[in-house]
């Protein structure tokens, strides 16, 4: 059964369609959402393996696999391919893939002829619950994640849960980190309460999409409330940036978010905003999605702090989304020493866990 989640943005409103097989509705959706389109370019990756019918003359363009595809060089290459294909601003770009593809293709569409319509066919859990919805498009720089981009809303989003059946375990983990985030935000919509690990996957997707739609409708350009969707992401983006920079650490987005969520809870406790029980609640929610919460080894606090200082929420300070007595909210002006101490707390927790494990194995 197809579920429809509206994203209410006045003349930029659109629908998120979720369910088994909804990608087969793409031609109808394009005809209704982009009636001016006479040509389409599908942007995807070799490994996606999902074919779609746009109902229009279509050229398929593949981009490299992995986070490295989110670069300004790839935006230029895509726009040149759009031009050579005969695409114009009345036509449509279709992104078929996960968050890398929707971020990259969306930014290229926003840039080409100063704004060309695009439709997302989200094929990963991460894209279906988060990346493909809300119109935040962009690419990375060596200095940080998603530092160059645009707000450019899609004309529609199709979340075909049938495509999740072939996801490898690490891609599942990447999406589950975002689902855990939504589970901790404390936002209820007409589609239900917070998503939990026990719900069927279709229901998890719908509830996450509904929460994001609700937040985006209230704050499209991340002036205040939309920053809540960055819960756990300040450290997560820093971890990803370090991994991208050194080329040695293999860390997926949702895995980094899981670590970031627990870090944010520990930081909030250090600042007296929440108690031990609330920290344990974070650990239980994240753990229910089979996500690890240990800080990776070999990280330098100064390097992480440099990346966190460049976070999009920051205004010349260290800014985090933190839990507290009034729920999750943006907190500015966090002292550097508190961040360093919280990172040290996570280091010591990992080491004590490892020591207990070694002792237990030695006793058998």
Task: HSE, CB side, 13 Å, CA atoms: give it for residue 33.
Answer: 28
237 is catalytic: yes
- Does domain 231-356 correspond to CATH entry 1.20.810.10? no
Distance between CA 46 and CA 63 in Å, rounded? 8
Q: Per the residue annotation, which of 230, 282, 312, 313 is the catalytic one?
A: 230
Name the nearest CA neighbour of 98 among 152, 163, 14.
163
278 is catalytic: no
Q: Per the residue annotation, which of 145, 207, 212, 282 is the catalytic one?
A: 212
Cβ atoms of residues 126 and 101 within 8 Å: no
User: What residues does each domain of the chain span?
Assistant: 3-220, 231-356
282 is catalytic: no
Q: Per the residue annotation, which of 222, 240, 252, 313 is the catalytic one?
A: 222
Conformation bin of residue 198: beta by default, left when phi > 0, alpha when psi is -120 to 50: alpha
Q: Per the residue annotation, which of 207, 253, 269, 313 is the catalytic one?
A: 253
Neighbours of 47 (CB within 10 A): 12
Q: Per the residue annotation, which of 11, 46, 114, 198 is the catalytic one?
A: 114
Provide the CA 283 distance to its chain's centre, in angstroms.
20
24 is catalytic: no
Provide the CA 311 distance to its chain's centre, in angstroms.
15
145 is catalytic: no
170 is catalytic: no
Q: Per the residue annotation, which of 171, 178, 220, 240 is the catalytic one?
A: 178
226 is catalytic: yes
CATH class of 3-220: alpha beta
Per-residue confidence in pLDDT tens, the chain, 364 aa: 899 999 999 999 999 999 999 999 999 999 999 999 999 999 999 989 999 999 999 999 999 998 889 999 999 999 999 999 999 999 999 999 999 999 999 999 999 999 999 999 999 999 999 999 999 999 999 888 889 999 999 999 999 999 999 999 999 999 999 999 999 999 999 999 999 999 999 999 999 999 999 999 999 999 899 999 999 999 999 998 888 766 656 788 999 999 999 999 999 999 999 999 999 999 999 999 999 999 988 888 999 999 998 877 777 789 999 999 999 999 999 999 999 999 999 987 765 555 555 444 555 4
- Entry pTM: 0.91
Question: Read out DSSP for 192-237?
Answer: BS---TTS-HHHHHHHHHHHHHHHHHH-TT-SSGGGGGGTTHHHHH
136 is catalytic: yes
146 is catalytic: no
336 is catalytic: no
Q: Per the residue annotation, which of 145, 233, 269, 282 is the catalytic one?
A: 233
Q: Per the residue annotation, which of 70, 237, 282, 313 is the catalytic one?
A: 237
Q: Per the residue annotation, which of 15, 23, 70, 136 is the catalytic one?
A: 136
338, two tokens: 């508190």
Distance spanning both ends of the chain, measured CA to CA: 52
């Amino acid at each position: 059964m197809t579920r429809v989640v509206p994203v209410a943005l006045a003349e930029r409103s659109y629908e998120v369609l979720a369910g088994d097989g909804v990608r087969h509705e793409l031609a109808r959706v394009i005809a209704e959402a982009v009636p001016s389109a006479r040509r389409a370019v599908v942007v995807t990756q070799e490994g996606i393996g999902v074919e779609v019918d746009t109902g229009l003359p279509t050229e398929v363009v593949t981009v490299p696999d992995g986070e490295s595809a989110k670069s300004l060089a790839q935006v230029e290459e895509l726009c040149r391919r759009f031009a050579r294909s005969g695409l114009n601003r009345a036509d449509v770009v279709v992104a078929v893939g996960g968050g890398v593809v929707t971020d990259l293709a969306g930014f290229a569409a926003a840039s080409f002829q100063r704004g060309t319509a695009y439709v997302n066919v989200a094929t990963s859990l991460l894209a279906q619950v988060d990346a493909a919805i809300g119109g935040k498009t962009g690419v990375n720089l060596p200095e940080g994640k998603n530092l160059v981009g645009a707000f450019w809303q899609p004309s529609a989003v199709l979340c075909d849960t049938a495509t999740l059946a072939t996801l490898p375990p690490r891609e599942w983990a990447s999406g589950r980190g975002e689902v855990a985030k939504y589970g901790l935000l404390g936002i209820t919509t007409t589609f239900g309460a917070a998503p939990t690990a026990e719900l069927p996957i279709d229901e998890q997707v719908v509830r996450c999409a509904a929460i994001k739609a609700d937040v985006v409708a209230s704050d499209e350009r991340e002036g205040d409330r939309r920053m809540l969707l960055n819960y756990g992401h300040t450290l997560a983006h820093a971890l990803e940036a370090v991994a991208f920079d050194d080329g040695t650490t293999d860390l997926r987005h949702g895995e980094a978010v899981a670590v970031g969520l627990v870090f944010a809870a520990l930081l909030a406790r250090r600042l007296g905003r929440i108690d031990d029980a609330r920290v344990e609640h974070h650990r239980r929610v994240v753990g229910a999605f089979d996500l690890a919460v240990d800080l990776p080894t070999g990280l330098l606090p100064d390097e992480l702090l440099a990346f966190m200082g460049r976070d999009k929420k920051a205004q010349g300070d260290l800014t985090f989304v933190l839990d507290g007595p009034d729920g999750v909210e943006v907190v500015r002006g966090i002292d550097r020493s508190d961040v360093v101490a919280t990172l040290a707390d996570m280091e010591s927790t990992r080491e004590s866990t490892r020591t207990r494990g070694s002792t237990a194995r030695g006793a058998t």
